[in-house]
Amino acid sequence: MKDEFLIYKLSEKMKDCAKIDNDLFKKYDVKRGLRNDDGTGVLVGLTRIGNVVGYERIEGGGMKPIPGKLFYRGYDVEDLAHGVMADKRFGFEEVAYLLLSGDLPDRDELEDFRKLLVDNTALEHKTFMNILELEGSNIMNILARSVLELYTFDENPDDTSRDNLMRQSINLIAKFPTIIAYAYNMLRHATFGRSLHVRHPREELSLAANFLYMLMKDFTELDARTLDLLLMLHAEHGGGNNSTFSVRVTSSTGTDTYSAIAAGIGSLKGPLHGGANIQVVDMFHHLQENITNWSDIKEIDAYFERMLRKEVYNKSGLIYGIGHAVYTISDPRALLLRELARDLAKEKGREKEFAFLELLEDRAIKTFARVKANGKTVSSNVDFYSGFVYEMIGLPHEIYTPLFAMARIVGWCAHRNEELNFQGKRIIRPAYKTVVTDQDYVPLSRR
């Protein structure tokens, strides 16, 4: 009780310690969240990897919302996705090759790269045993823990030479699916008493298919290609998204790859970033239960209004899967995923749920504009439909955010490699202005 009271007392102090008057940010021209007054991001770097486009700058100041576009190394992601879908083949390895090297692979390069990834999927026995023995209920946490452990088994963990960075990148991209699949199988065993299967990856399969094979053995070609497309769409999102920026900030100190990637995992887990995909599913289930008529616009709007006013659901005031730091009118990934979800829902007999989700998307955006009235143009983001698609291909909720990490590891590695190799590199170290007055030290005996 004494300890609890002390913790309570200290936590109460936090109220005063963390109080910073909002007006001070304006006064000192602080870019809160590294954002300009018009909501656009403060320019903090240059990159050749990804380009996220959501607005146009207007001459003389301000910005104009435009439909979203995403480019990987200059290639439009929609073209990459449509190219792969037209050929009915897997594309994640191609995107990984492109992001890491800057070029699209030819057939031989692609096949060699796929094999190289498969050759690196196996885990060290101890990492495997730790996943089994330490258990844990959150797979993002297990992933971060396992990544830090890989440092121990790397003979050259701190070497930041180019070939070592590339070797570590490939090793991590290859091992993420194995760690996540094993961690989930263990979780399922420990939590639901299901038998524990440990299947080793198969040499001839793509990364997406191998993941499904390790996770659940039985899956269809369409399931694997759907997952592959989701991985392609989540692989990279410029240098400014929170997890990639975390990797770049950490890397700028010259630290090892595993420490930097663990920082990225920690960031992605948050509900405002990659963790939003599971929040959307949770919110959707809540709305399914709490909205009596799924086509009643008035009822839906009223519920969203109460959510925004922090009265219902988790009282955060947020509608998950809506809004973005860069996109305004649309997130191109959400548009692709909506069409994918529509097709899958038809096939899986879940059209009624899809229609409800699509209506929720529309009403959330409209209610946001009416209630917030802040002039911000919002649309659905990548997390809005991804969970529903995962659910339709039979994937368990616990791995939705880890799947984001399984794709984004590519972007993280590409950005780390760029951060450590561009000529004018500097440790990232912005400034904070102190807003507390200096105080005279009082000896312990006089306090």
Ligand X SMILES: O=C([O-])CC(=O)C(=O)O
Q: What is the dihedral of CA 415, 417, 420, 426, to 10 degrees?
A: -10
Residue 323 interacts, among ligand ACO, ligand X, none and using kind-specific CB cut-offs from 5 to 8 Å, with ligand ACO
> Per-residue contact track with ligand ACO, 293 to 312, x per CB under 6 A?
---------------x----
Token pair 């992001």 is at which residue? 99
Distance CA 401, CA 398 (A): 8
Record the tokens describing residue 228, joined without a space. Answer: 């592959």
Residue 363 interacts, among ligand X, ligand ACO, none and using kind-specific CB cut-offs from 5 to 8 Å, with none
The stretch near ligand ACO (CB under 6 A) out of 291-299, 319-327, 347-355, 388-396 is 319-327
**For residue 99, which amino acid is it?**
L
Nearest Cα to 226, choosing from 407, 389, 408, 336?
A: 389
Work out whether 140 is an interface residue with ligand X (CB under 6 A): no
Q: Give catalytic status of residue 29 as yes or no.
A: no
Query: By CB under 6 A, what part of segment 313-342 binds ligand X?
Result: 324-326
Work out whether 334 is an interface residue with ligand ACO (CB under 6 A): no
Q: Give catalytic status of residue 383 as yes or no.
A: yes
Give me the least distance between CB of 251 and ligand X, in Å please: 17
Work out whether 99 is an interface residue with ligand X (CB under 6 A): no
Rg (CA), the chain: 23
Residue 76's DSSP bridge partners are 71
Work out whether 382 is an interface residue with ligand X (CB under 6 A): yes
Record the tokens describing residue 5, joined without a space. Answer: 């009271």
Work out whether 229 is an interface residue with ligand X (CB under 6 A): no
Residue 70's DSSP bridge partners are 52
Distance CA 137, CA 445 (A): 47
Nearer of residues 121 and 246 to ligand X, judged by Cβ: 246
Distance CA 400, CA 378 (A): 23
Catalytic residue among 237, 273, 383, 415: 383
Residue 136 interacts, among ligand ACO, ligand X, none and using kind-specific CB cut-offs from 5 to 8 Å, with none
Query: By CB under 6 A, what part of segment 8-47 binds ligand ACO?
Result: 39
Residues 6+ apart with CB under 8 A from 71: 50, 51, 53, 77
Cβ-closest position to ligand X: 241
**For residue 44, which amino acid is it?**
V
List of residues contacting ligand X (CB under 6 A)? 52, 237, 241, 324-326, 381-382
> Catalytic amino acids?
324, 383
List of residues contacting ligand ACO (CB under 6 A)? 39, 272-274, 276, 308, 317-325, 372, 374, 376, 381-383
